[in-house]
Amino acid sequence: MEAPKKSRVKRFVGLAAFVIVLLPVAYSALTYPRGLVDFSVSFTIGADSRHLEFEVPFLHEHVRVEVSVRSGNSLWSAKILSGNDVLWNHTTTQREQTTYSSEWIKLPSGRYNFTFATAGMGSLEAEIKLTSKGGFW
């Protein structure tokens, strides 16, 4: 009767070890940084804007905005909105090639709108990326 008892204990210990390893791996996989939005803009002289909707996935709670300007000289603005409420914005005057990265912006999972706009006497060509992450990343 001792042998079956030991066998159950070994199975339980094996299952517990498996779960202890599996949970952090699954959590890491679900919360690993991922790209939400990746697009290019090419604006000419004057005012112009581009609007996109994006979704912050479950278990992700931080978003970073990156703007890489390839060329141009213009005033640009980026915003994250929930309905009509502005949750984050940044405005700057761009000259030559530069990359801007925001801090990690805390947003609960859900749908949001992103607006990138430019105004001025110059043109602007840029790459815009939004990345989300969760957990300990």
Delimit the domains of the chain by residue range. 1-31, 34-133
In 3D, which of 67, 48, 53, 86 has the Cα closest to residue 126?
Answer: 67
CB of 37 closer than 8 Å to CB of 115: no
Q: pTM of whole model > 0.85?
A: no
* Residue with token string 């990326």: 129
Residues 6+ apart with CB under 8 A from 31: 59, 60, 133, 134, 135, 136, 137
Number of residues written out for the chain: 137
> Please, are residues 61 and 109 in contact by the beta-carbon 8 Å criterion?
yes
Q: What is the DSSP letter of 113?
A: E
Write out pLDDT tens, residues 61-97.
Answer: 999 999 998 888 888 999 999 999 999 999 988 766 6
Report the C-alpha gap between 27 and 89 in whole angstroms: 30
* b/e code 34-64 from CB counts within 10 Å (16+ = b): eebbeeebebeeeebeeeeebebeeebbbbb
Decide which of 2.60.120.380, 1.10.3720.10, 2.160.10.10, 1.20.140.10 is the CATH code for 34-133: 2.60.120.380
The closest alpha carbon to 115, from 82, 81, 92, belongs to 81
pLDDT digits (tens, 9 = 90+) for 23-70: 888 888 888 999 999 999 998 888 899 999 999 999 999 999 999 988
